[in-house]
């Protein structure tokens, strides 16, 4: 498996993954410029997530999704790679924390098993288009 930068041409692939998981499409302008795309050695996409910067000491890991055709092992390894890459970005840029907002039970279990602490469980996230 290998990492490469997410490209705009990957968008429809990632949308297909979200839809097959029963999730809503994330609009392109909600995605940061730092997409982390994991693929196998043949170039087939396995997972994607986005690293987001803030003006605090906390960075974000957002919109994680795996290819629904993956094996469990492929999904686990690719999510672990995304987490490690985002952590490296954050450390190198002086951040102290990574935040993630999740609703998916499978992703929540993965994060908790990999050293993430559950935060506020009663929070809802609201968005509003402004332009």
Domain boundaries, the chain: 2-113
- What Å distances lie between residue 82 and 7, 37, 67, 77, 128, CA to CA? 16, 8, 14, 9, 28
pTM of the model: 0.88
Under CATH, to which class is 2-113 assigned? alpha beta
Higher pLDDT among residues 126 and 99, named by residue: 99
Task: For residues 12 and 121, give the distance between their C-alpha atoms in angstroms, rounded to a whole number.
Answer: 31
pLDDT, residue 113, reads: 87
Which one-letter DSSP state was computed for residue 111? H
Mean pLDDT of all residues in the chain? 90
pLDDT, residue 131, reads: 66
Kindly state the average pLDDT of the residues 98-127. Answer: 78
């Amino acid at each position: 498996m290998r990492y490469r930068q997410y490209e705009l041409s990957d968008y429809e692939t990632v949308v297909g993954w979200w839809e097959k998981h029963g999730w809503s499409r994330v609009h392109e302008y909600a995605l940061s410029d730092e997409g982390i795309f994991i693929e196998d050695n043949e170039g087939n996409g396995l997972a994607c997530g986005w690293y987001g910067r803030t003006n605090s000491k906390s960075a974000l890991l957002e919109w994680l999704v795996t290819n629904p055709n993956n094996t469990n092992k492929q999904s686990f390894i690719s999510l672990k790679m995304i987490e490690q890459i985002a952590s490296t970005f954050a450390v190198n840029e002086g951040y102290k924390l990574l935040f993630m907002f999740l609703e998916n039970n499978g992703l929540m279990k993965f994060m908790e098993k990999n050293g993430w602490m559950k935060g506020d469980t009663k929070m809802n996230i609201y968005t509003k288009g402004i332009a």
